[in-house]
Each structure stands twice: as structure tokens, then as C-alpha cells.
Structure 1
């Protein structure tokens, strides 16, 4: 793991296209989950515009096909090919099917899909709490299943889209599924977003010898995104009034996709792995949640927490991957 600090050549207003201006991704293959809306669409578009062949991994393939058709109308001559494939991260069978149908190397895996603050406790068909299952376990199973393809790329990158919401809660290992504590939409979201960061830490530890780097990020407070579709405006207002939530300045979708694209393809982060980024740079540690609008909690980068989560996740999805010596 490199200790080199990333040069701050970009910032909160930088767009996805700007962070990889001049980068040639021809010959590279990418998967972007949740590429049917919001920053997932912009991430896919920007990577394809730079020449990458991009698979839009979406729950609704008809909607995904419409998005792909719209993107193709905007892409420049010589852009990469867009493909649509079904992936429902709450349904382990679709994850397994996606993995089974993938052939050849995979250079970029962007875990962008997610759900936020489901108002009621919801479980998957196998009994897992929905936010933890979709935001973390589904992406974990996908990445582990695609590890051979990532290793074959000889320099693959995994991008794990987390959130400032990870400050709402660490991973509560003794009650991941809210069987003993009252369900809360925000702590549930928080532990799933912490898990996204810890996954990057764990993958960096285990898969470096395969040439795979993994980093997590906070995209920002994005306007016009479907992530908050389950959240009533009053619920956000009440949460802010309680002092539990503070929001950073709002970003556009192209600005919100910038850090994902930076980690996916920019040469400025070559060799950096197991870190958490925001505004196109490594985040500073934060130890006090109240009023925080940036930064990363120490528990989200803790290697012991990452190792524990990896073991738990393997047990839950039936996958195995050992750390390097």
C-alpha cells in the first residue's frame, strides 16, 4: 500500500470528464453497477467516451437499454462499446449469473449501485437487512466472483462508492440485520457505507499480488439522483435539525461522478490502494461526527475491522479469499 499523498490537482467542482481528460482507455473493459441513473450513468458515459468498453450492470435491463441508447447518441466517434446486463444485488442468483457470463479480463469495477435510508426494516429473500445486503454483500460477492477476471487485467481497479453517511455508524458485527436493536434507516445506511470502505481496505490487503487496487469514495451531495428516492424530504429535514446530519455543498451529477472516475482511470492515483477519497483527493480523518461534512472515520479504515468484515462476508455469501502473507 502506497503512503504517497495524491496531488490535489482537482477539487469539489471538477467534473468526471475533466479528471481523465487526455486518458486513453481503448482496450479496457469496465463494469459499472447502478448505471441506470445518476452518477452511475455519468461514470459509464465518461469511461466509454475515453474508449473503455463499459457494461451497465442494472436491475432493469429495459431501462438500462434506454440509457445505453441515449448515451450512444452523445458519445464521440471512437468511443467504447456499451453493453447492458442484469444485476440485482439483493438477489444472489443474479450476481452468480453475472459472474458466470463474464469472460476475459476486467480492468475496472465500479460498485456504484445502492439504496439509502429505507424507511422500514426490509429483508432480502435470504434474510439479510436490505441496505447491508445491497450496498455491501452484493458488491462483495460480485467482486470476489470477478476476482480472476480482475487479476487477468494486470492492473485492475476496484472503486467502492461509499458516502459521508459512513459517519452515522460503524459496522455493528453483533447485529448486522437488526434482529436485536430497533431498526433505524440512517444507522443501517451508515453501517453499509462503512462496509464499502472496509471492503476496499480488505481487498487492498488481499489482492495486491494480483495487481488489483481498491479504493472507496464519497461522491458528494448530488442533485438529481435516485439514491434518495425512499427518503421523505421531511425525514431529511428532521435529521438535520437533530444535529445528526450535516450536508456538504451540493454538486452536479458530472461533479459527483468525478471521484469515481478519478479512481477508476486517472494515472494520478496509480499505486494507491485501500484508501477513502472525496473531492478527488484522499480524505482527512475525522473523530467527531457532529457537524462533519467531510472526512473519514478511523473505524472505516481499521484493518482489524476490515479483516473481521471480510470473514463475516465470506460466511454470508459462501466465498473464500485469503490475505497475502
Structure 2
């Protein structure tokens, strides 16, 4: 465990412990942690930071299931890290309802997602980024709640993004039915929803031993950015960073905070938002770090829960 570097920022963060920071990897934050007997699901676990999150959990002894759309493409990876594979399409509520799980579930990492995609809608007419990044994971977590309770000490991890700083949840027009569609605003709204989910889920479920957190993994070049031109990505990241070049992470580093929240005993604060393996401070203008106040607003979190519950009963 030699990664002690922290991300330079004007926003103070509070370490979760262990001296981990910006350069830490998923393997480092779980080194020495024994997850034997624990069962974990990682959505989108066959690519990007999902791979490294799953790899680190499996290396620590957890029995990991990769919940993915393309099971055939995930089988070689699953064999490599000794994980199972299950089909799950988060954009399809029928697929979420069909997802089968027996017995306790100790760790659920809501990692899969789409970023800044062109406008598309699900069969229900929902905007695809909100439907996939939030509603799919919301429905999955609610469906798996009995299994999480049965674990008698479970963790749910919601992978958000610094893009949550782009937009709150616009309750008056969540599905972009009346306002002009902007792929980045839609993505930002869905990532804010991930944080609000963590706030409300932890409030509702902590009494049952189910603890929930959200996180920003940092900037990582992965297949998540398949809808974005590379030059556009660099310009967008630089602009969002106050004109300063963005500091990129490797996938192994990008998975570190997910792995920490999923399996480390060093994490003691829940229902909130982490970045660079630390509890994030408040966002300051001109910074790409910190958490927006609207993303931790308990009233907005409760409202989103009620709205989401109505959606998934359609």
C-alpha cells in the first residue's frame, strides 16, 4: 500500500483512512481485506472501471457476479477473475425484473451506465440516460433489497460522476419532453440522481444493515465515452476544470473509490458522496471536485425516490 498521493484541489476532503488518494488503485485499497464468504454484483463489470472493481473484489475473496448486457463477451474475463456472469440490461425494466438472485447479497456496485449519448428513448418513452443510469439501478436495488437485508451488513455503491455538477434533477421535465435535449445535461441529471439515491436509500435501509454511498471515480478514458469525440472530451474536461488540463486516471485508479466503498472496513460514513478515496467536501465554483448541495438535499432525495417508484411500476 504505497499510494499516498491526493488530488490537488481547493476543496478539502476527509480521508476514509489508509492514506489512499487520487493515485491509489482498487487492488491497493482492498489489499489485506478478506471478503471470503461475501457475494457481490457489479453491473457493467465487463468493461472500464467495472472490470477493475470486480477484479479487486474477487481477489479479496468475494464471489462476484458480472451483471452485463453481453454475457458472451464477458465470459473470458469472468473465467480470468473467477467470477460468474448474468444477463442484465438496465435500460429494459423487463430485464431488471427477470434478473434472478438467490440468497444473501453483501455488495451491490451500481457501476454500468451511458454517457452523453444522442437522444434516445426506452419503450416507455423515458430518456435513455436517466432510464439506464438511474431508473435501472433504482429498480435493481429495490428488487434485491430482501437479499441485501439477508446479508446482515450489506453495502450498495452508486457510481456517480463529477458531471453531476452540470445539472440537478429537473423534476419539472426529467424526460426532456418540453426542453431541448442536451446530452451533457441529461448525463449530469442522471449522475445527480445516483447521489440522491444513495442519500435516500441509506436513510431508508440503514436500520436493516444496508448502507449506501455514491462516488465520483474521476476522469478515465473508457468505452463509456464511445458517444463522444476525443477532442470534444478533452475540451469539455478542460473547460469544466477552469481551463486547466484534466488529470486522467487509469481504470485501476478509477475503480479505487468503488472498491473502497464496497469492501473496506475503513469506510464509516454513509449516505453521502466520495471522491479520490475520501469523503468529498462541498463544491466550489471553478472546481471539478466536491459535491453539489442539491445532490445531497434530503428533500430532493425523498422526492426523487417517490417519482422513481412511480416510474418503475408502469
Partner of 1:75: none
Deviations 1:133-192 (A, max 9, x none): 000000000000000000000110000000000001000001011010000011000000
**Are 1:205 and 2:176 an aligned pair?**
no
Q: How does 1:157-236 map to 2 (within 5 A)?
A: 157-223=155-221, 225-236=222-233
TM-score by length of 1: 0.88
**1:119-130 paired onto structure 2 within 5 Å:** 120-130=118-128
Supply the distance in 2 between the matched residues of 1:230 and 1:245 (Cα, whole angstroms).
21
Q: Structure 1 residues 55 and 240, CA, compared in 2 at 3 Å: closer, same or farther? A: closer
Structure 2: distance between partners of 1:300 and 1:238? 25
Alignment length, in residue pairs?
299
User: Is contact 1:161–1:217 with CA below 8 Å preserved after alignment?
Assistant: yes
Partner of 2:47: 37
1:193-241, CA deviations, whole angstroms, 9 ceiling, x for partnerless residues?
Answer: 0000000001011001110100000001113x11101112243355357
Alignment of 1:1-325 (within 5 A): 6-7=16-17, 9-72=19-82, 82-98=83-99, 101-118=100-117, 120-223=118-221, 225-239=222-236, 243-244=239-240, 248-270=246-268, 272-288=269-285, 291-318=286-313
- 2:274 is paired with a residue of what secondary structure? strand
What CA distance in whole angstroms lies between the structure 1 residues aligned with 2:41 and 2:237? 35
1:54 partner SS? strand
* Counterpart Cα distance in 1 of 2:237 and 2:259: 30
CA contact (8 A) 2:237 2:246 kept: no
C-alpha deviations, 1:72-106, integer Å up to 9, x for none?
4xxxxxxxxx11000000011110111xx200000
Distance across 2 between alignment mates of 1:151 and 1:86: 23
- Give the conservation status (yes or no) of the 8 Å contact 1:158–1:215: yes
Change (3 A) 1:18 1:185: same
Change over 3 Å in CA distance of 1:162–1:178 after alignment to 2: same
Contact 1:248-1:293 at 8 Å conserved across structures: no
1:244: Cα distance to partner?
4.7
Query: TM-score, structure 2 length as denominator?
Result: 0.92
Secondary structure at the aligned position of 1:222 is classed as coil
Match of 2:11 in 1: none
Q: Secondary structure at the match of 1:110?
A: strand
1:27-47, CA deviations, whole angstroms, 9 ceiling, x for partnerless residues? 000000001101101111110
Instruction: Please list every run of 5 or more consecutive structure 1 residues that lacks an aligned counterpart in the other structure.
Output: 73-81, 320-325
Shift of 1:245: 5.8
Q: Indicate if the aligned counterparts of 2:46 and 2:66 stay in contact, CA closer than 8 A.
A: yes
CA distance in 2, matches of 1:235, 1:117: 11
Q: CA deviation at 1:293?
A: 1.8
Partner of 2:266: helix, strand, or coil? helix
